Amino acid sequence: MTRKIAVVVTARPSYARIKSALRAIVEHPDLELQLIVAASALLDKYGSIVKYVEADGFEITAKVYIVLEGETLLTSAKSTGLGIMELATIFDNLRPDVVVTVADRYETLATAVAASYMNIPVAHVQGGEVTGSIDEKVRHAVTKLSNLHFASTERAAERIIKMGEDPSSVYVTGCPSVDLAAEVLKKHALDFDPFERYGGVGAEFDYKDGYLVVMQHPVTTEMGDGLEQIQETLHAVEAVEVPTFWFWPNVDAGSDGISRGLRIFREQGRDKNIHFFKNMVPEDFLRLIYNSRGIVGNSSVAIRESSFMGIPAVNIGNRQAGRERGKNVTDVPYEKQAIQDAILCILDNGHYEPDHIYGGGAAGTQIAELLATAKLGIRKQLSY
C-alpha cells in the first residue's frame, strides 16, 4: 500500500536540506508526497522559497501562513503556537501516514507537536547534532517526539540512541543537504552571473578572480547582540578588501538587529566590495560557494556542504558550537581582528580534500526507502 508522506518545508535552509529526499519520495513507487510549504518559505521578505519549490517541479499540497510579524521572542513563541493550530488542521485533512520534520526550527517543533497529538508517526531529519542557542533545546525535544530518526552522522545517531531512543528506529542516512552538494560537484562551473540572475543591492565587482561568501544569522539566546556581532564581521570583511557576496539573515527573533547592522553599513557607503543577496536557488548557492575562496559566518552550510566540497570556512561565535566539523572549519569569536586573521588564513590555504562526515550524497534515496519500509508506530518508551 502507498504511504502518504507529509513533509513540512518552512525556510530556505530546510528546503535545501530536504530537497533530495523530496525528489526521492516523489520517485518512489510506494510513496505519495504531501508537500506543505509554510512560514517564511511563503514570504517575499525572505525570498519566496515557494517559487523555487514550484520551479523545481514539486506540487504543493498546502500552504500555511504562521509567521506573526514582529520578530520578538513573544512573536516567535506565538508563531509556534499558531503553527501547531494550523498544521493540525492540515494533518486532519491530509491524513498522512508519516510526517517528516527537518532540523531544529520553531516550525520543526510545531510540526512534531501537532503530529504527535494527532497520533501520526514523526520522522526527524538531522536529529542528534549539537550546537548552541535555542535550537539545542528544540532539536532534542523533537527527537523525543519522533518515531523515526534519520541522522546525518554516526555520532549524531549515537547521541540519539543515548538519549534513550530505540536503536532500531535510528538510521545514519547522511545529511540530504550533502546530496545536493554531490549533485552540484558533477557540474560545478559558476555558469551564471549572480548580479544578473539575483539582482540584490550593493557593489558590483569582478568576481572571476575569487571572492568570499558571508552568511551570518542571529543567535536567539543572544538576543539583542545581533547588531554588535554583525558589525565585527562587517568591519573584518571590509578590512580584507576581497570581493564578497553577502546573504541576508533568516527570519528569527533577532534578525532585525543584523538587518539594521547591514543597512547602517550600506548607508555609510562602506559596501565597496560587498554585494547583498536575499536568496538563491540552492544549487546556484552551492555553486557560488564551491567557486569561492571561502565562506564566513555562522551558517551550517560551512559545516555540512562545505566539508563535503572542501571549501575553507571561518565559523564565528556560538551558533554552531558543538557541531561536528571537518578540517575545513576555523572557529573564531565575535571579534573583528580574529575574524580578519582567520579570513586571511583561509585565503592563503585554498580548498581542502572532501570529507564525508555528513554523508556521501545518497541520503535522500535512503530516507525515501526507509519511509517506504520502516515499521511505523506512535508508541514509544524510554529504553532504559
Q: Chain-centre distance of CA 133, in angstroms? A: 15
Distance in Å, CB of 202 to a second copy, minimum: 13
Distance in Å, CB of 349 to a second copy, minimum: 29
Distance in Å, CB of 52 to a second copy, minimum: 18
**328: which 3 cell numbers?**
575545513
**97: which 3 cell numbers?**
501516514
Q: Which residue has the cell 552538494?
A: 181
Q: Which residue has the cell 540512541?
A: 161
Nearer to a second copy, 318 or 349 (CB): 318
Nearer to a second copy, 106 or 277 (CB): 106
Assign 362 to helix, strand or coil.
coil
Assign 303 to helix, strand or coil.
coil
**144: which 3 cell numbers?**
523525543
Distance in Å, CB of 76 to a second copy, minimum: 5
Q: Characterize 110-120 residue by residue with b for buried, 16 or more Cβ atoms within 10 angstroms of its Cβ, and e for exposed.
A: bbbbbbbeeeb
Residues whose CB is less than 8 angstroms from the CB of residue 306 and which lie 6 or more positions away in sequence, other chains included: 289, 295, 312, 313, 328, 329
Nearer to a second copy, 259 or 291 (CB): 259
Nearer to a second copy, 86 or 284 (CB): 86
Nearer to a second copy, 253 or 343 (CB): 253
Nearer to a second copy, 4 or 188 (CB): 4
Residues 133, 351 contacting (CB under 8 angstroms): no
Distance in Å, CB of 57 to a second copy, minimum: 23
Distance in Å, CB of 180 to a second copy, minimum: 27
Q: Characterize 33-44 residue by residue with b for buried, 16 or more Cβ atoms within 10 angstroms of its Cβ, and e for exposed.
A: bbbbbbbbbbbe
Residues 370, 171 contacting (CB under 8 angstroms): yes
Nearer to a second copy, 70 or 210 (CB): 70
Distance in Å, CB of 183 to a second copy, minimum: 31
Find the helix packing angle between 176-185 and 363-373, rounded to 10°: 140
**101: which 3 cell numbers?**
520534520
